[in-house]
Amino acid sequence: MIIQSEGETLVEAIQTTNDVKVKTRRWKKACLISAIIVLVLVIGTIIFVNVYINRGLPQVSGEIKLEGLKEPVTVTRDESGVPHISAANAHDLFMAQGYVQAQDRLLQMELARRQASGTLSEVVGEAAIEQDKYFRTLGLRRAAEASLPLYSDEAVRSLEAFAQGVNMYIDKVVEENRLPPEFKLMGIEPGTWQPVDSLTIGKYMAFDLGGHWERQAFNYYALAKFPEEKALELFPSYPKEAPTIINESEVVDVATSFQDAVIPPEFNGSNNWVLSGERTESGLPLLADDPHLGLATPSIWYQMHLDSPGYQVSGVIFAGIPGIILGHNEDIAWGVTNVGPDVQQLYIEKRNPNRPDEFQFEGNWEQAEVIPEPIKVKGEETIDYEVVETRHGPVISEFAEQSGKDKVLSLRWTALDPTTELEAVLEINRASNWQEFEKGLEKFLAPAQNFVFASKGGTIAYKANGRIPIYETEDDALLPLRGWEEEDEWNGYIPFNELPTLVNPEKGYIATANNKVVSESYPYHISHNWAQPYRYKRIAEMIEGKQTHSVENMKDMQLDVRNLQAEEFLPFMLAHVEEGYGEVEKAAVNLMEKWTYEDDYQLPQPLIFHTWNTNIQAILYNESIPKEMRDLFHGAGQTTDEMVRSVINGEESIWVEEAGGIKHVLNESFSKTITELTEQYGNTPSDWRWGDGHAVEFTHPLSSIRILGRFFNPGDPVPVSGSRVTVRAAGYNDNGLVNHGASWRYVTDLGEPTEAEHVVGPGQSGHFRSEWYHDQFNDWVEGGYHTTDMNDFTGEELRLTP
């Protein structure tokens, strides 16, 4: 019985085992089938997503019919994605320009006009409310609307044709469900494009290159917070007649008033220079320009070549605007840098305590304009927002919940007046000599720019052009003025024929790098906020260091990374480093003593020097000046340089002395620097690299959404040479990400006036699947250029037909 029982048990066990095996095989088969189904679904989804995404790519060859064209237009995109547009008339040219820009940059155009107009909340939601309030308060769109009636009929027709082209593209891709994928991700569709949208984007660029109201606010804060002599050390230039703070009853809480203000990057600037034929191999002028703006995907600039009767011009433009703002035609070339004049003035306004919409002027109460600016918010109720404008301009402390107070701050700014920059652009596009070009500049009012010019006739010239206010004394521009006193009003503007101008100088070249452009004998005040002259001096050194120059020399100059700030200050800094440090500190000092002052990404010295400088500023300011005020302290680095320079010259600095004296400041900051770098990069300074803390990726605005980052920012950040003080400008944020620099590099030889060398980082297209999305990224990093010729180009050809 026992044996039989064990046998039965064995049989049962075998049967159970077989059942398990069968079930296991079935389970595995089911899993395999499920996996295949999932794989098919994933592949299908990927294919669908790819097909959908690729549907958003623009058609760049074949034929497209556009209602409204008068005659056929040819658009040839060359190997760098630069569209060459050939049209039989100006209407068709600008209509095609609008269509083509929308093909490559529609999302950028949509977000740009919304940001400038203060309507981002409609598509982004409550996160953009404060920003929208600020831009509604500034009133860039209101200024654009007021500008439009000043334009000539011809210019308005150009704007209308451009808008028509943009709208033809929008209608087409919406109807065919081919909008760029970012629109689907954001759940939005672009609205109808209007001529005023183009002018509003132009006003935004004036904002980006603006003026210095934030520095006036900081100076005002400093005088109220610190003893007068200590406060004046922080001023961008020491006043001839020290200004005094308005009495205590008239002080506005600056820190609170501007806590949500949108402040443009303080390092916006540029380099440009032009050489006469006496200094060039071709015997005709050479011109170079590299505007320093924010670095992002897509680029601020869009390169194009426009060809029609009356227009044969090549260069770059902001997406959303017709014409070419920087570049050349067959006869002339031009480039710009920012003048940085004092064109923004804060006014303290006395409000009527009984009638909050009235403000005092010359003993009387004046009614301010109250402008309804309702803000639509995605998923939320509309905000009933109002803007108050005094005789000087919008009350910009209002958006920070300061309404109802007896004192507020308003902003007078030239760009908020009606202006005609696009009219100027269209005129200079057709100019053939300096006289015609300068005449066109009369209509270019804001922002004020340093224009350099060259012609194939041999002329080189310069003009600090734009509307620049006249102050009673130059010290008036350092602080907010009294809004209730007529004597504090601007006294008009510097006459056009008295703006700084230079034609065919004897030295054979003209260069600007946001440095001071006038001598003390110039009769008008322009600015207190010039860039330190490191870049300008280095450009002049390179020009004067060689007998004749070529296009290749000019490219090399744009990529130069010689650090004249370090050359000036580092010997003094090292001389004050104390003995007795450890091996790491000694190794760092030894490296610094051998440095040739090149901000090369492969070297450790730039990493040490720039971190050291940052820590010097931290020791001097961080305990005394709160973070929200340091954001308004534009030019803090320049102020620090002046302090240290004064100490080197045997003078005293209150800030340095109160921080423990120069020796303590330099040693404390040096010790802090070595500690920080050791923690990040190890104990061997010779292994440290500038590129470890200084890299570029051209960040896309949607890449902050983690899953989208790898699509919109292809690849990791790449180490890059240069810094904020080198000719090769490369500013960076607190994380070491390079986010500011030469947004476009450009060199042209008037000996070959139809061609020029360009690089638009990171590329022409805003569509991440385009071959022209990041194809110029490596060129931007490594110093490559592409040649664009108005007479010799090939590529994919698209015909736009009526």
Q: What pLDDT shows up at residue 452?
A: 98
Site of tokens 């600008």: 94
The Cα 436–Cα 438 span in angstroms is 6
| Mean pLDDT across 479-500 | 96
* Bridge partners of residue 760, in order along the sequence: 744
Average pLDDT of the residues in 556-570: 98
Is 534's pLDDT higher than 70?
Answer: yes
How many beta carbons lie within 10 A of that of residue 285, not counting itself? 31
Is the pLDDT score of 713 beyond 60?
Answer: yes
pLDDT level of residue 377 (50, 70, 90 thresholds): very high
Interval 753-773 mean pLDDT: 96
The closest of 270, 379, 316 to 80, measured between CA atoms, is 316
pLDDT above 80 for 252? no
Q: Token pair of 436, please?
A: 């015609």
Can you state the angle between helices 605-621 and 583-594, rounded to 10 degrees?
110
Q: Sort strands 301-308 and 83-86 into parallel, antiparallel or unpaired.
A: parallel
Query: What is the edge-to-edge ordering of all strands in the sheet holding 407-413?
Result: 407-413, 344-350, 481-482
The CA-based dihedral angle spanning residues 472, 477, 479, 484, taken in that order and rounded to the nearest 10 degrees:
40
Q: What is the pTM of this model?
A: 0.91
Two structure tokens written together for 29 = 């088969």
pLDDT tens digits, 253-280: 555 555 556 666 655 679 999 999 999 9
% of the chain beyond a pLDDT of 70: 88
Which range is least confidently modeled, 174-188, 237-251, 485-499?
237-251
Alpha helices in 118-152 (DSSP H): 121-124, 129-138, 140-147
- pLDDT bucket at 9, cuts 50 / 70 / 90: very low
CA 236, 238, 239, 244 torsion-angle sign: positive
Task: Tell me the pLDDT band of 739, cut-offs 50, 70 and 90.
Answer: very high
What per-residue confidence (pLDDT) applies to 58?
93
The arithmetic mean of pLDDT across residues 204-216, rounded, is: 86
CA Rg, the chain, in Å? Answer: 30
pLDDT score recorded for residue 664:
97
pLDDT tier at 237 (50, 70, 90 boundaries)? confident
The per-residue pLDDT for 634 is: 86
Q: Say which range, 19-23, 115-119, 477-481, has the weakest mean pLDDT.
A: 19-23
| pLDDT confidence tier of residue 714, bands split at 50, 70 and 90 | confident
pLDDT surpasses 80 at 119: yes
Which amino acid type is present at position 137? T
SS3 345: strand
Which uninterrupted H or E stretch holds 65?
A: strand 62-65
CA pseudo-torsion sign 543, 549, 553, 558: positive
- Mean pLDDT, range 77-94, rounded to an integer: 98
| 740-759 average pLDDT score | 97
Residue pair 498/524 in contact by the 8 Å Cβ criterion: yes
Q: Which residues contact 82 (CB under 8 A, 6 or more apart)?
A: 303, 304, 305, 758, 764, 786, 788, 793
Cis peptide before 298 (omega within 30 of 0): yes
Cis omega (within 30 of 0) on the bond before 447?
Answer: yes
Which has more pLDDT, 222 or 405?
222
- 794 burial via Cβ count (<10 Å: 0-12, 13-18, 19+): exposed
For residue 198, CA distances in Å to 122, 144, 446, 737 come to 20, 9, 15, 31
Give whole-number Cα distances, 798 to 61, 76, 101, 209, 299, in Å.
4, 6, 14, 36, 23
**How crowded is the C-beta side of 220, counted as CA atoms within 13 Å?**
29
Tell me the C-alpha distance between 631 and 610, whole Å: 19
